[in-house]
Every structure is written in structure tokens, then in C-alpha cells.
A and B are shown apart, each in its own frame.
Chain A
Amino acid sequence: MSTTSNDGYYEAFWPRAPRQMQQRKIAPRVSSLDGKTVAQLWDFLFRGDKIFELLEEGLKARYPGIRFVSWREFGSTHGGEERAALALLPERFKALGVDAVISGMAC
């Protein structure tokens, strides 16, 4: 680091800006997945169709009474219809009796 006298003196402002979001509470967890309805949300990326199939298989093996609402019910959560699809979710979850949600796929 230079300490030479021609390095000047500056009082520099923070270049960022305040965050605007309020911290949101995560929805309460379910005590068990047995007998619960789990919705799948997919962004139509990264083999989600196959991965949800496998998750269903693994979860059903542990919780035989678990029920799934396929990603096909909701449309893609990414892309042209993203905002419309997301806006409808609370209403759709209520109508379909959804207890928990798995959303994928990021990569």
C-alpha cells in the first residue's frame, strides 16, 4: 500500500443502497408428511420432471399416505408466464388443500 504524499485524501461514500425487504417468516413446518398433500412447483429446467418422479417414489416409500399435486397443475414458475403463475399460487394451494410445497429446480 502506497503511503506517498501524492496519493491524495478521499472520504468515500458507501456505493450500495439500503435493502427494501421485510424479513418474512417461513411457513410452519408439518409434524409428519403422512396423509399430507405436497405440491410440486417446477421451472421446467434441469430434469425436474424426472427428479419429481424420484422424489415421489422416495417419499411414498416412507409415507404411504402422502399425496402429491403435480407440477403440471401450476405451469412453469420461470419464464413468460412466471408472474401470472406465481400470483395464482396462494389461491391454488388453498383450493387444492396443499399442506407443503417442494419447488425446483435451481442449478
Chain B
Amino acid sequence: MRQAETTSVGLGMPNIPLALVPGHVGTQSEEELRRNILEVTVDRVIQNLTSAMAAKGNRSEPSARQIVFKGGFKAVNHFFYENEYSDGLPIFPPTLEDVEAFLKYTDRAPEEMLGTLLPDNRAATIWSIAVNGVMAGCRPEYMPILVALIEAMCDPQYGVEHSGNTPGGDTLIILNGPIIKQLGFNYTQGALRDGFMPNTSIGRFWRLYLRNVAGFLPHKTDKATFGNTWRVVFAENEDVLQKIGWAPNSVEMGFSAGDNTVTVARYTGGGSLSSVSGSTPEQMLPYLADTVQKYHMWQLTFTVSHGNGALRPLVVISPIIAETIAKAGWSKSDVKRFLFEHARLPAWEFERQLRDWNIRGVWDLEEDVRAGLIPKVFHVSDNPNRLVPIVWDPEHFMIAVGGDPFRNNAYVFAHNGFLGFPVGKKITLPKIWDQFIRDSQSES
């Protein structure tokens, strides 16, 4: 109820009437559900449809550039925490001097709006990007990346409005281009570990922006059952990609090689698989395919009808695995084809996962194929043991390369479908960038 109440404010309907079903519908017997609906919900529905709703006003708020607190470091942090502006860690106070330092690294006007973000329906402005960038502990020169990230957050295809859904997925940011080295991102061992300022602080910035501008607050609009801390930025190892002749993720997202880009997508789970051994793709890839399939369980809901084939599993492989596969003449597309053909499960198991264990009692693969909602590969026969893929097309798998160059490990990210669909944006550098690079080089 609290989520519906807070979300309705952002939608401009703060007094939209709500009817409650007591308890959680997913754990009630038929009899309990029947009693709850007939004895409680029906009355509320009638009241909602027949009685006038009292008007509710919006609470007044500060203006865009209002100073909301003056004081010492600890007092600022106390104020920001009490007002739900911070994540619980200390923030850098966003002062005029620091915000202006960030604004120097974009040629766009501070008041420019990149879009509006649900659920709060707030303006995503260059100014607010700088403010939250300061708070997150970013350096001013990260600003071009922050702007590209918020462009991605505003892209309707990404689906930011779903960022508070109950599985509690978290966004992974993939970075490509020369900017990785220019700004000192970690792209080797510990590539997903905190401890590297650009990787860590930009990951934190994303979450702070979701909190402060999109408006996702735990216990209100963020309904993550568990959730995680933010993910640090994953920078691809483009040295290795170049060496083996594979395109970086940026090219697969539609950009040119050498472009600086960000790609964002939300993932609800996954994990690492260790010691992918073998000296050929045929020896290595069955283990990978098996793990990709096993890490995608309820997420198969994004493969079928209402998910519209939006599942995009991401497999991050370490350089040594990529080099071994490429040595045999295999391209990224060959790897994706292998995954498409081998990351499969019996049809009965696919259907059990969704129809019996998940939430959709009125569904099966055959019906979806017959209705033209999913490709025919999902129902080539009536044999319940036939193997079906987890995505519609081999190219729906995403592959990135990074991590420890000397370990044969991989990481599978279980994707959250249309609730965080992969979106890429090019990073636009400011006019002062070349000078900044020259200055950094002379300093080092």
C-alpha cells in the first residue's frame, strides 16, 4: 500500500483510491483468498468506485538550487541522512564550488533536462547530476560519464520505473572506450570489487540518483525484498579484445570501436563459475552453457509472452577464457550460438518453473507459440522432454571480457528483462577534455 501511495504522488494522482487484499495473495489457500476478497476487498472496491475521494495536496519542496543545510561535515551528513538524501554512508556535501567544478566537464547548460524519471516524476537535469556526483565521491572529470548514464536512465527502453520491483535487481554499468584508461578504471583483477575510485563512486552515483531524482526509497517506492549494495562499474578489458579480434560490448550496442560508451542493464542474480578448464571452445563452453541456464530460473518469465523475449543474459568471461576460445577461430557470435543451442532445459521444466512455481496459472509454451507470441523453437513437438532455449535468438546473449587475466573464471548475470533492458549511450566529452588529458599526462 505504501508503495502505491507514494508512487501515486509522482503520477499526479495522490488520492487515487486503493483496495487492499489482506495478507499476501501468493501464500493464501483458495478458501482464505475467497474469504478475504468477499469479506474485505469487495466493500473497499464499492466504496472506491462510488464515494468521492478527498483531495490531497502535494507537500511543498525546496527549489532546484536551494541550499537546504549549512553546517559542519557531520551535521550535513546527519541532515542528509535524516531527510533520506543519502545511502547511509557519508556523502560529500554538494557545495557551489564543487558542483561548479563538475559543471566544467560538460558543455551542456546546468538547467538542461535530459528527461523525467518515475516514480517521483522529477526532472533529470545536468545540475542534479553534478550535485549527486559530488555527493557520491566522484571526481569532476567523471561528469561526462555521469551525464551519459542519466541519459540511459531516462531512456524508456531501460524501464527505470521498475527499479523498485520486489526481486531487487541492481544495475550493472559496462564501460567502454579510451576513457577507461584515461580516468584510471580498474579493468583487470577484481573488476567487480570496490576499491577503485572511478568504478566505485560512479556505481554509487547511479544508486544515489535513483534515490534522489527518480525517487526510489526503501520502505516506500523501492520494494526490493532483499536488494544489494550498488554494483561497481565494470570496465571491459579492451586490450585483450583487440588482441583476439573480438568487438567490444560498445560495438555490439551499435557504436563504433573506440567510442566511449556506457551500457546499463539490471540483473537480479547470477554468480561466478570457477575454473572453466579446457584448451578448446568445445571443452570450455558446455560448463558455461550449463551455468547460464541454471542461473536463469524465474527470469524465464521474460522470455515468454508478457516478457516479450526481453531476456538478455550477460556472461562475463576472463581474458584467458576469451583468448583460448578465440585461438580456435571462434567469434563472439559463435559463442552466442553455442549458448543458444546448449543453454537449454526440458520443456516440462520450463513450464513448471513459470506455471506451477511462479505466478501465472494460465499459461503454457504451446499456447504462446500458437498465439504467435514466442518463436516456434519453443514448441517443435509435443514431447515434454524436448529441450528449449532460454532466449529467442543467439544474439540475445551478451558477452563481455574482463577480470583477472590469469584466472579461467567467468561470471553470469541473470537478467531482469524489460525491468532494466540493456541500453547504451555514447559519452560526450567537453571541449576542455583534451587539455585535461594533457594536464593529467604532464602531472604523471
* Cross-chain contact of B95 among A1, A11, A20, A102 (Cβ < 8 A): A11
Determine if B166 is an interface residue (Cβ-Cβ < 8 Å): yes
Encoded as 1 (CB less than 8 Å from any B CB) or 0, chain A from 17 to 56 comes to 1111111101001111100001000001111011100110
Given contacts A13-B99, A23-B58, A76-B306, contact A18 B74 (CB under 8 A): no
> Which of A14, A45, A55, A62 has its CB near the most chain B CB atoms (within 10 A)?
A14
In contact, A46 and B93 (Cβ under 8 angstroms): no
Q: Which of A32-88 contact B (CB under 8 A)?
A: 32-33, 38, 44-47, 49-51, 54-55, 57-59, 62, 76, 78-81, 83
Least distance between A42 CB and chain B CB atoms (Å): 10
A-B contact count (CB 8 A): 198
Determine if B123 is an interface residue (Cβ-Cβ < 8 Å): yes
> Which of B25, B74, B128 has its CB near the most chain A CB atoms (within 10 A)?
B25
For B418, list chain A residues within 8 Å (CB).
79-80
Query: Count of chain A residues with Cβ under 8 Å from any Cβ of B?
Result: 52
Among residues of A, the one whose C-beta sits closest to the C-beta of B301 is A79
For B48, list chain A residues within 8 Å (CB).
29
For B166, list chain A residues within 8 Å (CB).
107
In contact, A29 and B50 (Cβ under 8 angstroms): yes
Least distance between B3 CB and chain A CB atoms (Å): 7
Specify the main secondary structure of chain A where it touches its partner.
loop
In contact, B123 and A20 (Cβ under 8 angstroms): yes
Encoded as 1 (CB less than 8 Å from any A CB) or 0, chain B from 11 to 27 comes to 11111110101001110
For A8, list chain B residues within 8 Å (CB).
72-73
In contact, B61 and A29 (Cβ under 8 angstroms): no
* Cross-chain contact of A58 among B38, B131, B309 (Cβ < 8 A): B38
> Which of A29, A30, A100 has its CB near the most chain B CB atoms (within 10 A)?
A29
CA distance A21 to B362 in the complex (A): 37
Determine if A95 is an interface residue (Cβ-Cβ < 8 Å): no
In contact, B26 and A47 (Cβ under 8 angstroms): yes
Give the size category of B's interface with A. 35 or more
* Cross-chain contact of B41 among A32, A55, A106 (Cβ < 8 A): A55
> Which of B30, B73, B78, B124 has its CB near the most chain A CB atoms (within 10 A)?
B73
Among residues of A, the one whose C-beta sits closest to the C-beta of B93 is A10
Given contacts A15-B131, A30-B50, contact A10 B38 (CB under 8 A): no
For B66, list chain A residues within 8 Å (CB).
13-14
* Cross-chain contact of A1 among B45, B75, B121 (Cβ < 8 A): B75
Determine if A91 is an interface residue (Cβ-Cβ < 8 Å): no
For A94, list chain B residues within 8 Å (CB).
none
In contact, A10 and B10 (Cβ under 8 angstroms): no
* Cross-chain contact of A10 among B78, B95, B213, B305 (Cβ < 8 A): B95
For B4, list chain A residues within 8 Å (CB).
106
Determine if B360 is an interface residue (Cβ-Cβ < 8 Å): yes
CA distance A1 to B79 in the complex (A): 11
In contact, A12 and B45 (Cβ under 8 angstroms): no
Given contacts A18-B64, A47-B361, contact A12 B25 (CB under 8 A): no
Among residues of A, the one whose C-beta sits closest to the C-beta of B120 is A19
In contact, B45 and A7 (Cβ under 8 angstroms): no
Determine if B328 is an interface residue (Cβ-Cβ < 8 Å): no
In contact, B52 and A29 (Cβ under 8 angstroms): yes
In contact, B122 and A20 (Cβ under 8 angstroms): yes
In contact, A46 and B26 (Cβ under 8 angstroms): yes
For A55, list chain B residues within 8 Å (CB).
37, 41-42, 45
In contact, A58 and B37 (Cβ under 8 angstroms): yes
CA distance A51 to B310 in the complex (A): 28
For B75, list chain A residues within 8 Å (CB).
1-2, 7
A residues contacting B by CB (< 8 A) are: 1-3, 7-24, 26, 29-33, 38, 44-47, 49-51, 54-55, 57-59, 62, 76, 78-81, 83, 100, 102, 105-107
B residues contacting A by CB (< 8 A) are: 3-4, 10-17, 19, 21, 24-26, 30, 33-34, 37-38, 41-42, 45-46, 48-53, 58, 61-76, 78-80, 85, 93-96, 99, 116, 120-125, 127-128, 131-132, 135, 156, 166, 208, 212-213, 305-310, 359-362, 418
Instruction: Please name 21 pairs of A and B residues whose Cβ atoms are closer than 8 Å in the assembled complex, sorted by A.
Output: A10-B72, A10-B93, A11-B70, A12-B70, A12-B79, A13-B94, A14-B67, A14-B68, A15-B131, A16-B128, A17-B128, A18-B61, A19-B120, A24-B13, A30-B49, A44-B360, A50-B30, A50-B361, A79-B306, A80-B308, A107-B25
12 new A-B contacts, CB < 8 A, other than A15-B208, A18-B61, A26-B16, are A10-B72, A11-B69, A13-B131, A14-B61, A15-B131, A23-B13, A46-B359, A47-B361, A50-B30, A51-B25, A81-B306, A81-B308
